[in-house]
Amino acid sequence: MSWRDYWNADSPIYVSDRHKTLHYALIARDVAALVPGPGATVLDHGCGEALSAGRVAAACGRLYLCDGAPLVRDRLSRRFADEPTIVVLAPEEVDGLPDGSVDLVVVNSLLQYLSFEELDALLGLWRLKLSARGTLVLADVLPPDLSPLDDVRALLAFAWQGGFLRAALAGLVRTAFSDYRKLRTELGLTHHSEAEMLDALRARGFAAERRPNLGHNPKRMAFAARKA
């Protein structure tokens, strides 16, 4: 099984419906804050179920939601069927967007499932699709020294604030015996250092800088990049 196959099913990393709801609400809040203006075109690549994407759509002119998993795309298409400015795309369909037409590309919590080669190819694609003053934001990037324990701590802090601590503790036990844990051991997750990320972005013609992360885990990294 690959990571892309793995995501074509429900994942135990969301420990409860409340966790999932609060997670996507937080991401949507942070993404909406990045939108440069009401007419902007936004691409959320590797968007997951994007439960609160309506909030991002309300802040921009058009929102492309791209995900690799057919199951996720089916759910997105059904959820946002009545939102005319939200368009659901398979990764292959991003190629077909007009070059220079996207003002903001957001990629949250995807890079750990990509090889260095896949990331490099996507950086080229995102640069092609970005408008002249467009921004690429890569977030929730795993630094080399991030341990599973750091993720556990961040989840428990989020759960404490969000009132789902009991579900989080039970969920951590479930995750420890799940396919996610097995795949994490077999395939691993891709980690990047800050310098590696800045080099990879520079090599693809971006001027980039480190930013505070989106979402609940401040130990993971984020980067904002523009065409150099």
Binding site for ligand SAM (CB under 6 A): 3-4, 7, 27, 46-48, 67-69, 72, 91, 108-110, 113
Residue (110 or 141) nearer to ligand SAM, CB = 110
Residue (90 or 207) nearer to ligand SAM, CB = 90
Rounded to a whole number of angstroms, the minimum distance from the CB of residue 177 to ligand SAM is 19
Rounded to a whole number of angstroms, the minimum distance from the CB of residue 132 to ligand SAM is 25
Under 8 Å CB-to-CB from 29, ≥6 apart: which residues? 52, 55
Residue (88 or 197) nearer to ligand SAM, CB = 88
Rounded to a whole number of angstroms, the minimum distance from the CB of residue 25 to ligand SAM is 11
Rounded to a whole number of angstroms, the minimum distance from the CB of residue 187 to ligand SAM is 12
Q: What are 122's two structure tokens?
A: 């996507």
Q: Which residues pair with 209 in a beta bridge?
A: 224
Residue (80 or 113) nearer to ligand SAM, CB = 113
Rounded to a whole number of angstroms, the minimum distance from the CB of residue 69 to ligand SAM is 4
Exposed/middle/buried for residue 5 (C-beta within 10 Å: 0-12, 13-18, 19+): exposed
Q: By beta-carbon distance, which residue lies closest to ligand SAM?
A: 48
Residue (114 or 197) nearer to ligand SAM, CB = 114
